[in-house]
Amino acid sequence: MSQQQMVEEIKGWVYEAGERIKEKLQSPLIVEEKANKSDLVTNVDKETEAFFINKIRQHYPDDQILGEEGLADQVTDFGGRVWVIDPIDGTLNFVKQQDNFCTMIAVYEEGIGQLGFIYEIMRDELLWGGKGIGVFLNDQEIKDVPDMTLEKGLISVNTHMFLRNTYETQTVAMKSLGVRMIGCAGIGFKELIKGNQTAYISNLQPWDYAPAKVLIEELGLKIIALNGEPLDLRQKVPILGATPATFEEIQNRQN
């Protein structure tokens, strides 16, 4: 199968999952707490992850799958092809707002990102693309992202990192034109890639950043772990995604 055929296949899965999720919003959600009262999982998270796993198993039975809700593989070796699934990114928003959430998928081969998909379901906006094929918002290619400096753009940040000034998040954010706290990594990265903000800072699991990393690197934007660790999909890390100009400003401040 060609890369383009795989892209079209995954897009079909993502749109189908989006329709299923919207239908589920018409019924009461079954909500459980994970680590704390703001870290939630619902029946729809689990059903959506199972939906994607079933599709991947049917079409790519030899591949490994890393998923948020623990229904996939215990991936320790990222050789070969690995799929990374976040069935609903922004579950707290999903439960409380029924808005401001995404479903996301990434495809990595030998640890290198090949394809990424971020679908903001309630706005019907699919940000997708991959290594060597470009980045698209629905059918419109994104060719140039404005290289805004910190003071000329909005920055989206993790609430806890901002309040505690972890990695100088609050200090950096207050130098921007305005601060946003979206509560959804997919949207935070999506707004950066669309050129609507200059940076996104949060503490993220691999499934939170894997799709965006593919798209960001394809566009020449910057993404790093603020603790100096490699972004190898093995652990939760504090992440900075930014335009090159903002990235340089933040790096110079921290150095």
What's 129's DSSP letter? E
Neighbours of 162 (CB within 10 A): 20
By percentage, how much of the chain surpasses pLDDT 70?
A: 99
By CB neighbour count within 10 A (0-12 exposed, 13-18 middle, 19+ buried), where does 215 fall? buried
Q: What is the mean pLDDT of residues 206-212?
A: 97
CB 137 within 8 A of CB 126: yes
pLDDT, position 65: 95
> If 0-12 CB within 10 Å is exposed, 13-18 middle and 19+ buried, where does residue 15 land?
middle
* 146-203 tens-digit pLDDT: 999 999 999 999 999 999 999 999 999 999 999 999 999 999 999 999 999 999 999 9
**Quick one: average pLDDT of 232-236?**
90
DSSP alpha helix (H) spans, the chain:
3-24, 43-59, 91-96, 159-164, 169-173, 185-193, 206-219, 244-254
> Which amino acid, 110?
E
pLDDT of residue 112: 94
* pLDDT (tens digit per residue) in 107-129: 999 999 999 999 999 999 999 99
| CB-based contact 84:66 (threshold 8 Å) | yes
Q: What's the predicted TM-score (pTM) here?
A: 0.95
pLDDT digits (tens, 9 = 90+) for 97-109: 999 999 999 999 9
pLDDT value at 255 more than 70: no
Which domains are assigned to the chain? 3-142 (3.30.540.10), 150-254 (3.40.190.80)
Q: What is the dihedral of CA 46, 51, 54, 56, to 10 degrees?
A: -110
The residues near 196 (Cβ < 8 Å, ≥ 6 apart) are 154
Number of H-type helices and E-type strands within the chain: 8, 14
CA distance 161 to 201: 8
Cα distance between the two ends of the chain: 46
